[in-house]
Structure 1
Amino acid sequence: MNTEIGLYIHIPFCKSKCLYCDYPSTTNNRIQDKYFEYLLKEIDLVNLSNKIKTVFLGGGTPTYVSIKHIEKLFKKINANNAVEITIESNPETLTKEKLNAYFSLGINRLSLGIQTFNNNILRSMNRLYDIEIIERNYYLARRYFSNINLDFILGLPGDNMEILENNLRLIEKLHPEHVSYYIFDDDHNTPLKRLLEKGKMQLPEYEFIEKGFDLIIDELRKMGYVRYEISNWAKKGYECKHNIIYWNNEDYHGLGLSAGGHIKNIRYTKTWDFKEYFDKIDNNEIPYYYYKENSMIDEFTEELFMGLRLINGIEIKKLKKKYGSLYEKFFKILFQMVSDLIIIDDRIRMSKKGLDLSKMVFEKILEVRENIYEG
C-alpha cells in the first residue's frame, strides 16, 4: 500500500542575489528554459507513484519564473489531491496574472519572503522591494489566497528594537495565517558573512537578539498565533503541513537542483551544480550528490533532530515502537547531559530553556550518537 508523501521542487532563479543567501540560485535566466526541460526529465526518472499529500515550490524565487514553466510542471506531477500546495515568493515578483494562474493550478498557500519591513535594511541586503510594494502586493494576493505565510529574519545588520516593534505592528495589521521568524545565522559562507569578517557590516548585539525573540514570542501569542515549532507560528489549523512532514521525519521526495528527500530509511540530496545536474540527467541518472541508506541509529538521530524542533516534541510511544531498546539506551545517556533542557512524560520535548539553547541540545544528541556507535 502506497503511503502519502510530500514533494519539494527547487526552482533556483532569482532577480537578484541577496547578501545573506546560501541557497543554490542564479540570476542567469538564459538557462531557465533548459532547467525546466531537465526538471521534467528528472520527474520521469523518479518514481512518483505515491499519493502526493503536499507540494512545496521553493527557491530561489519560484514566482519570478515564467508562468508557462509552472503550468508545465503541474501537468507533469499528479498533485490534484494534495491538501497543501505552497509557492515561495518575493513581494516584487507578484502580479495579478501570476496570482490568478497559481490559483487556477490549485496552489493554495503563498509564502512571502519579507525579512523585515525596514526599507534601509532591505536595500542593504539587496532586496528589490519596499514597504509600499509589500503592502500593495500582499493585498493583491489576498484576492486569491486565504493562507499566507510571512517570513522574517531577526538580527540582520541594522536591526534594532524599534524596527522589530514596527515589524510586529505590521504583522498585526496584515494578519497573515502563518508567521516564520528566524534568527539570522552567520555560519554560512555568504557575501554578508564576508562583509562581516571585513568589518564592513556589523551584526546587532546578542542581548538584542535574546530580548527581541522573547518579544516576538509574547506579541505573536497576544495576536492569537500558536508557536508550534522553534521559529514558526500559526493561526489554528494553518500550521505548514509540508514542513510538518520534515519535522515528523516522514517521507518526501525532492526534485531539482540541491533538493533533498527522505523515503523510508533513504536520505538523499541532489547535486548543487547545474552542469552536473544536466549531465547526469542526459545519462538517464537521477542527479544525486548524496545518497545513503540510514542505519537505525541514523534514523533515530534524524527523528530527534527534526521532532524536537516542534514545541510538542515527539510521542514516546512512537519512538519505542520504531526503535525499541535503542530508545532506552539513547535517552538514558541524553537525559544525564541535558536534564534541564528536555522534558519527558508521554512525549519528549524541549523545555523553555531547551528551546533557547536548542543548538546545545542538538550537539548533545550528536555526542550520544557517537558514544553509542563507539560502544
Structure 2
Amino acid sequence: IKEITIESNINNINEEYINFLENIYNIRLSLGIQTFNEKSLSIINRHTDKRDIINALKLINKSSLENISLDFICGLPLNSENQIRDDILFSLDLLAKTKHISLYYLELTEYLKKKWKYLIPSDDESVIYYKKASDTLEGLGFKRYEISNYSISNYHSIHNSNYWLMKDYIGIGVSASGCYDNSRYNNIKILKSYFDFIDNNNLPIKENEYLDIETRKKEFIFLSLRTAKGINIHKYNNYFNEVFYNKYYEIINNNKEYFNISNDYLSIKKSYFDYADEISILLF
C-alpha cells in the first residue's frame, strides 16, 4: 500500500490518537483547518477554537508523522484580503513539515448566499484573496498540481490523483463512494441498514449510476483540465478510440488564448487556472 490517508477533525487530535497513527505504515494525515478566524468558524458552524488548532498542530509537530496535508477555505464570512495567506503562514510556522495544502473556494447554496450577503467577499475579491494565498504557497515551494491542491515534490495526494485520472476506486463502509467498471456507486448511510445488507450477503449500495461513454469523455476532459498537466492526449485517444485534436480542433483553435497546446497534452494556462471549470465546458 503506497498511501493511507486519514481525514481527522481538529478536536480528535490528542496524544493517544497520534500514537495510533504513528504505527500505521505510509500514513498520510489530512486536517481541515479552514481558517484561524474564530468568528468565521462560528458562522459556518465549525465548533473549533483557535487554541484547539494551535495545540493540535503542535502535537503533530512533535510526532514522527511526516506526510501531512492541511485544508483552507477562501471566501469565508468575514474573510479579509490577507486572512487565508496569513492562516497558511501561521500554520506552517507551527508545523513546518507540512507537505500538502488544499486551498478551496467556499461553495454556497443560494440560501446561504442571501443569508451571508453582507459577510462574504464578492467573487472578484475572493479571486484576489485566493491569488495572494496561492502565490505565497508557490513562493514557499508548494507546486500547484491541481486547481485546489499544492504540494512539495513527491507528495501529491495519490488517491485524489487517481480520481482526476479516471482510475477505478473502491468505496468500503457506510456512506462510502466508489467507481468501478464504469459504475459509480454510493453506499447506504445508515449503519444498521448497512449491516443488514451485509448479513444477507447483499452489497450495501444505495445508488448506482452507469457511466456511458459520453459521460466518461466529459469527465475525463473536465477532471484532466483541473490538473496542471492537463489532458493526456494519447490516453484520451486510446481510451475512447478517437483522435482528440480531430474532434476538438475548431473549439480549441477558437479559444487558444486559454490553452497550452502540445502533441502530448492540452492544459489551461496558469493565468486562467481559476476559471478551469468554465473553460472546460467549451469542450462539451
The alignment status of 1:120 with 2:42, answered yes or no, reads: no
User: What letter is aligned with 1:331?
Assistant: Y
1:257 offset after TM fit, Å?
Answer: 3.3
Answer yes or no: is the 8 Å Cα contact 2:81–2:129 preserved in 1: yes
Matched, 1:233 2:150: yes
How has the CA–CA distance of structure 1 residues 252 and 204 changed in structure 2, closer, same or farther, with 3 Å as cutoff? same
How many angstroms does 1:105 deviate by? 3.4
1:55-86 per-residue CA deviation (whole Å, 9 max, x = no partner) reads xxxxxxxxxxxxxxxxxxxxxxxxxxx11111
Alignment partner of 1:177 out of 70, 84, 99:
99
For structure 1, list consecutive stretches of 5 or more residues without a partner in the other structure: 1-81, 188-192, 369-375
Q: Tell me, yes or no, if structure 1 residue 202 matches structure 2 residue 122.
A: no
1:349 corresponds in structure 2 to 267
Deviation string 1:318-355 (CA, Å, 9 cap, x unpaired) is: 21222222634542354256433233212011123442
Change (3 A) 1:104 1:165: closer
Q: How many residues align?
A: 280
> 2:4 is paired with a residue of what secondary structure?
strand
Residue 316 of structure 1: aligned partner: 233
Q: For 1:140-289, list aligned pairs within 5 A.
A: 140-142=59-61, 143-173=63-93, 174-175=95-96, 176-187=98-109, 194-198=111-115, 202-272=119-189, 277-289=194-206
CA contact (8 A) 1:195 1:201 kept: no
In structure 1, C-alpha distance between the alignment counterparts of 2:36 and 2:116, rounded to whole Å: 25
Shift of 1:232: 0.6
Shift of the 249–202 alpha-carbon distance from structure 1 to 2, 3 Å rule, reads same
Query: Would the aligned equivalents of 2:4 and 2:27 in 1 still touch at CA under 8 Å?
Result: yes
CA contact under 8 A between 2:100 and 2:151: conserved in structure 1? yes
Cα distance change, pair 293–327 in 1 and its aligned pair in 2 (3 A): farther
User: Partner residue of 2:276?
Assistant: 358
CA distance in 1, matches of 2:245, 2:172: 36
Moved more, 329-338 or 175-184: 329-338
> Per-residue deviation at 1:158?
0.8
CA RMSD of aligned residues (A): 2.4
TM-score by length of 2: 0.88
Q: Distance in 2 between matches of 1:252 and 1:199?
A: 37
The one-letter code sitting in structure 1 at the alignment partner of 2:282 is K
Q: Shift of residue 108 of structure 1? A: 1.3
Alpha-carbon spacing, 1:220–1:362, altered in 2? closer, same or farther (3 Å)? same
Counterpart code for 1:308: L
**2:77 aligned partner, one-letter code:** P
CA drift at 1:186: 0.9
- 1:89 match: 8
Q: Check the 8 A contact 1:87/1:107 in 2, yes or no.
A: no
- Percent of pairs with identical residues: 31
Give secondary structure in 2 for the equivalent of 1:255.
Answer: coil
SS of 2:119's equivalent in the other structure is coil
Contact 2:222 2:277 in 1 (8 A): no
| Rounded Cα–Cα distance in structure 2 between residues aligned with 1:254 and 1:227 | 27
